[in-house]
Amino acid sequence: MADWKNPPRLFIPGPVEVKKDVLMQLARPTLGHRGKEYAQLHSETIDMLKKVLFTNQHVFLVTSSASGMWEAAIRNCVGFDETVLCTMCGAFSDKWADVAKKCGRKVEEMKVEWGKPTLAKDIDKKLASGKFAAVTLVYNETSTGLMNPVQEISDMLKKKYPDVLVFVDCVSAMVGLPMKFDELGWDVAFASVQKAFAIPPGLTIAAVSGRAVEKSKTVPGRGYYFDFQEFVKSNEKSQTPTTPAIPHIMAVNYQCTKLLKEGMENVWKRHKAMGDCTRAWAKDRFGLFCEEQYASNTLTTVKNTRGIVVGDVIKAVQQKHNTAFGNGYKDLKEKTFRIAHMGDITIDEVKELLGWIDAELK
Ligand SMILES: *Cc1c(COP(=O)(O)O)cnc(C)c1O
């Protein structure tokens, strides 16, 4: 019987397991969002996030899920007379193209088969036409468990198309995978906190470049809730335009303190170690859905080469151990399954879960 007060431990690719010490941060006394205490929390948190994201530009605390930033990037930075190139390699990148169209922008789609990466050379071919103002990209495609080669793509964009704005969905990548915002030359990068930040859902962190903020001044119809100009003005007072999810910001503050103490390079290495361990298991028992060089370090999509009934194994592990992992996404259901290894999940916990799955395979 489902019991929301005693839920399974989560190894699904978001929301992920949140540890007790982090949960406690959300139970602190609330602050007035126009008071000095909030301003202190806000500025401290932004300062730490700038270090975590390797940026000296803008960081916004946005009270919405990450999908809000899909819309925000488009509505703030792409004019109605401009065209955005939307790269698509899975459910989330596909959705972003849809969102851009729903915002009334001109969109050109660049699709690859699910499980295949988006490559610099293909983006290069598209952009050579000179008609694009911006490009959308997903760093880590959570539906397929694939990391796009964002370093190569960014190097190419910086060199050949310095005027094209670069928007990157980093939802299941931020703090799990290497990311230095300023060096990469990105304009908007964002993640909701229920993925590798390992905080309950309700807040999104966004890094925004100075030039994206400048561009937004010239774009009409930015709307109200996600207007970059409002976020910049409020940030100057260490505030947000509307009442933010203050408990979540307290948790971000706590998590950033831990991340900086560990050191981001070590955080990324820790995620890679969990990826290596899960991939080794997957290759031995099944197969990997993505080519290994693109297989994600924050979640593994396992190809169901043995034809097991994934739903039954998930159910059995949940019943015996009150722990949940993910079936494949949509069309990939039963053909694949997904194990998240991001945030505060430890490698020992991952190994424990893999052992339980092994027990079901016998
Ligand atoms: C989870 C996820 C999203 C959606 O984020 P929400 O916070 O649910 O809006 C978008 N993109 C990627 C890559 C994701 O993993």
Residue among 171, 175, 177 to mutate when testing ligand 1 (max atoms within 8 A of CB): 171
My answer on whether 229 and 269 are in the same domain is no
**Rounded distance between C-alpha atoms, residue 306 and residue 284, angstroms:** 12
| Cβ neighbour number for residue 47 with a 10 Å cutoff | 12
My answer on whether 248 and 124 are in the same domain is yes
Q: Which two tokens stand for residue 100?
A: 């851009």
How far is CA 103 from each of CA 87, 97, 188, rounded to the nearest angstrom?
Answer: 17, 10, 17
How many structural domains compose the chain?
Answer: 2
From the CA of 362, how far away is ligand 1's center (Å)? 35
203-256: per-residue pLDDT in tens?
999 999 999 999 999 999 999 999 999 999 999 999 999 999 999 999 999 999
**Rounded distance between C-alpha atoms, residue 254 and residue 127, angstroms:** 41
Q: Region 115-126: what's the mean pLDDT?
A: 98
Among residues 240, 261, 282, which one ends one of the domains?
A: 261
CB-ligand 1 contact for 90 (6 Å cutoff): no
Among residues 227, 261, 295, which one ends one of the domains?
A: 261
From the CA of 12, how far away is ligand 1's center (Å)? 13
Nearest to 220, CA basis, from 83, 60, 81: 81
Model confidence at 1, pLDDT cuts 50, 70, 90, reads confident
CB-ligand 1 contact for 67 (6 Å cutoff): yes
Among residues 229, 244, 261, which one ends one of the domains?
A: 261
My answer on whether 233 and 288 are in the same domain is no
From the CA of 130, how far away is ligand 1's center (Å)? 30
pTM of the model: 0.98
**41 belongs to a structural domain:** yes
My answer on whether 176 and 71 are in the same domain is yes
User: 298: domain CATH number?
Assistant: 3.90.1150.10
My answer on whether 239 and 335 are in the same domain is no
* Three-class SS state of 151: helix
CB-ligand 1 contact for 17 (6 Å cutoff): no
pLDDT score for 323? 97
My answer on whether 275 and 210 are in the same domain is no
Q: Region 266-275: what's the mean pLDDT?
A: 98
**Rounded distance between C-alpha atoms, residue 201 and residue 171, angstroms:** 12
Q: Collect all residues with Cβ–Cβ distance below 8 Å to 300 and sequence separation of at least 6.
A: 145, 275, 278, 279, 282, 288, 338, 339, 341
**Helices (H) and strands (E) in the chain — how many of each?**
13, 14
CB-ligand 1 contact for 64 (6 Å cutoff): no
**Rounded distance between C-alpha atoms, residue 239 and residue 209, angstroms:** 19
My answer on whether 270 and 256 are in the same domain is no
Q: Region 97-101: what's the mean pLDDT?
A: 98
Range of the domain at 354: 9-17+264-361
Q: Region 101-113: what's the mean pLDDT?
A: 98
33-86: per-residue pLDDT in tens?
999 999 999 999 999 999 999 999 999 999 999 999 999 999 999 999 999 999
Half-sphere exposure of 153 (CA within 13 A, CB side): 24
**Rounded distance between C-alpha atoms, residue 329 and residue 13, angstroms:** 10
CB-ligand 1 contact for 323 (6 Å cutoff): no
My answer on whether 271 and 244 are in the same domain is no
From the CA of 17, how far away is ligand 1's center (Å)? 16
**269 belongs to a structural domain:** yes
Beta bridge partners of 111: 88
My answer on whether 142 and 229 are in the same domain is yes
Q: Are strands 83-88 and 132-138 parallel, antiparallel or unpaired?
A: parallel
Q: Region 341-362: what's the mean pLDDT?
A: 97
The beta strand positions in 126-284, using DSSP E, are: 132-138, 140-141, 146-147, 165-169, 188-192, 204-208
CB-ligand 1 contact for 192 (6 Å cutoff): yes
My answer on whether 44 and 124 are in the same domain is yes
Inter-axis angle of helices 210-217 and 228-236, nearest 10: 120
From the CA of 156, how far away is ligand 1's center (Å)? 26
Beta bridge partners of 206: 60, 190
Model confidence at 298, pLDDT cuts 50, 70, 90, reads very high
Q: Region 174-195: what's the mean pLDDT?
A: 98
CB-ligand 1 contact for 137 (6 Å cutoff): no
My answer on whether 213 and 129 are in the same domain is yes
Ligand 1 atom at shortest distance from the alpha carbon of 92:
11
333-350: per-residue pLDDT in tens?
999 999 999 999 999 999
